[in-house]
Amino acid sequence: MKSNTSPWIFTASCPSIIGTVDVVTRYLAGSGHYVDAIHSFDDRASGRFFIRIEFLPHDGFEEAIFARQFEKRATEFDMDWQLTAPDHKPKVAIMVSKYDHCLNDLLYRFRTGQLNIEVTVIISNHPDLEPLAKWHGIPYYHLPISAETKLEQEAKVRELIEEYDTELVVLARYMQVLSPSMCEYLDGRAINIHHSLLPGFKGARPYHQAWEKGVKMVGATAHYVNNDLDEGPIISQGIQTVNHAYYPEDLVAKGQDVERVTLFNAVKCHIEKRVFLNGKRTVIFEG
């Protein structure tokens, strides 16, 4: 039953009870859909079940009919579920300050099709990267921010997120701490990237701090935004070894390489519906 047709994606979570896999796969098979890939996980700690299925629909498939028929079964299992079409491209807003390595990487992967997204708007608290946005034909909004104008600036950001029908916000080295209300507004749909060093160096010039301590590893963590600074549910992490020959500028360069790849991996997992929030943790089905 293999074909060149791109699969639909079915994702769901529900309480851990008997029959969770069967209710989904039986419905798909009974409706004439071919299951191309399936991943599931039952978390004993949280008592939640998670499942992701890629399937090839039968001829004449209609999403509305699928939803109406399956919802009757899902209700019995208290199942939260979602169906994603193969041609769906999430609309993404990127927020950035002055560092361009993550933004450059995301735009390249967007342009070459490695990320199946539409980057609809770039928002920054600095004007520096507007030429890069213009080269890609993407609207760029410079919204300066200060302690006194923070809430006003965030209100404008919200307006842009709504105006561009944004599904995902990516903080590609946006060097501002979001307010609690902004974090709540973006809950589950904003991804941040930050350096992750051992030990954790916070504040200004983290790589210089790391060099002074003689670190042997640099890394990065991509996570969902929440009100705990840099402590949201983790999606992706990366790490590279370094040694005594690395000066601060070398650590910065190596760290930026890790940051851009780690952020790309997180965004890709999110848009492919491979990430499930599970309390303060995540369940992630690898591709």
Contact 31, 23 (CB under 8 A): no
Contact 69, 31 (CB under 8 A): yes
What residues contact 9, with CB distance under 8 A and at least 6 apart?
Answer: 52, 53, 54, 83, 84, 86, 272, 273
Do the bridges between strand 281-284 and strand 217-224 make them parallel or antiparallel, or are there none, so unpaired? unpaired
Contact 20, 51 (CB under 8 A): yes
The count of C-alpha atoms lying within 13 angstroms of the C-alpha of 93, restricted to the half-sphere facing its C-beta, is 22
- Give the integer Cα–Cα distance in Å for 50 and 37: 14
Catalytic residue among 36, 43, 230, 257: 230
What letter represents residue 87's amino acid?
Answer: D
- Give the integer Cα–Cα distance in Å for 84 and 8: 6
- Give the integer Cα–Cα distance in Å for 177 and 157: 14
DSSP 176: S
The DSSP secondary structure of 5-59, one letter per residue, reads SPPEEEEEEEE--TTHHHHHHHHHHHTTPEEEEEEEEEETTTTEEEEEEEEEPPT
- Catalytic site includes residue 128: no
Do the bridges between strand 48-56 and strand 34-43 make them parallel or antiparallel, or are there none, so unpaired? antiparallel
Residue 90, number of CB atoms within 10 A of its CB: 21
Q: Which residues are catalytic?
A: 230
